[in-house]
Amino acid sequence: MENSTETVDVIVVGGGSAGLSAALLLSRARRRVIVVDDGRPRNASAAHMHGVLGHDGLPPRRLLELGRAEIAGYGGRFERGTVSALTVRDDAVEVSMTLTGTRFRARRALVATGLSDDLPDIPGLRDQWGRGVVVCPYCDGWEHRLDVVGVIATSPRSVDQAQLLRQWAERVVYFPGAFGEPDPEDAAALADRGIRIELGDVAGLRIDGDRLTGVDLGDRTVSVGVIFIGTRLRPHDSLLRAVGATATEDETGSWITIDDDGQTSVRGVYAVGNVVNPRSNVSVSLGLGTLVGGSINLDLLADDIAQAGRAKRRAG
């Protein structure tokens, strides 16, 4: 397929839950689909995935393996690699891959490249990511309901995360770190629900063997069984920005905008999942993947009908 000029119906960039869900719908609709993926889904470090109906507790990689097998059964194809460029032409989009220079042409592109969580620079934290350090109460709160749950502030509003986690765990400790003492109203609300505040700069995490056991505050160590943190979200949207897709700002950052069908401001270029939506957990990604896949199919159908009409008129 090197330097191929073959045109397929849809190229899906990113084979996580959002991209694969769209690819399943499209390949079952007899569209020719290629999924290009470089194998780094956001939840790769998590051993188990939660809150996904029918798959609660399944290893996330297993969900993707099952999805790929289903799509392959309907003729969908897969390419391993990183897409480095997306080009939009009048009647087609083209993507090229790093290293090999392989190119694919398609009638429509769906970008489902996810996002990265930028982690605070705390010694020991990165090594525990997805295990002793997690981000999502709905994904991991139940599993830690009996633990001492630590919340290390990454913004003054991390108090809200501590309050949310109190819903699962009776023992919640809030570490404001560099943000210092919470304002009196927040401090009172934390105290009202029995949430302990531990002041002091966070020097690192205490790890015993491979297990997180505490938070090191320099002059003392506070025991915890898990840490929840907020992360800075970095959408993998450079391909979309490079073709001029428009974005809007909100309190979580700058996000490429899509319409109700998942189409960006660039005709023929669609996007779905975490790359455009910070709230797109696995279930939402699966659902929206189906929705956007269906919209792309109808968009292609409109072209098919117009083309058939032109061909008929030409013939006579």
DSSP 128: G
| 117 three-state secondary structure | strand
Residue 61 to residue 24: CA distance in whole angstroms? 17
Interaction residues for ligand FAD, span 217-256 (CB under 6 A): 236
Burial class (CB in 10 A: 0-12, 13-18, 19+), 221: middle
Contacting residue, 9, 26, 37, 182, with ligand FAD by CB under 6 A? 37
Residue 74 to residue 18: CA distance in whole angstroms? 18
Candidates 113-121, 182-190, 204-212, 241-249; binding stretch for ligand FAD (CB under 6 A): 113-121
Residue 67 to residue 72: CA distance in whole angstroms? 9
* Nearer to ligand FAD among residue 45 and residue 221 (C-beta): 45
- Tokens matching residue 98: 């790093």
18: closest CA among 45, 42, 48? 42
- Tokens matching residue 245: 């897709």
- 117 binds ligand FAD, rule: CB under 6 A: yes
* Nearer to ligand FAD among residue 57 and residue 218 (C-beta): 57
- Tokens matching residue 226: 């898990």
* Cβ 200 to ligand FAD shortest distance, Å: 26
Q: How many residues interact with ligand FAD (rule CB under 6 A)?
A: 40
- 276 binds ligand FAD, rule: CB under 6 A: no
- 295 binds ligand FAD, rule: CB under 6 A: no
* Cβ 276 to ligand FAD shortest distance, Å: 9
Angle at 163 between CA 161 and CA 169, to 5 degrees: 100
Candidates 163-171, 198-206, 275-283, 296-304; binding stretch for ligand FAD (CB under 6 A): 275-283
- 102 binds ligand FAD, rule: CB under 6 A: no
CA 139 from chain centre, in angstroms, equals 13
Contacting residue, 10, 11, 15, 240, with ligand FAD by CB under 6 A? 15
Chain residues in the site for ligand FAD (CB under 6 A) = 13-19, 36-43, 45-46, 49-52, 82-83, 112-114, 117, 130, 134-136, 139, 236, 273-274, 280-283, 285
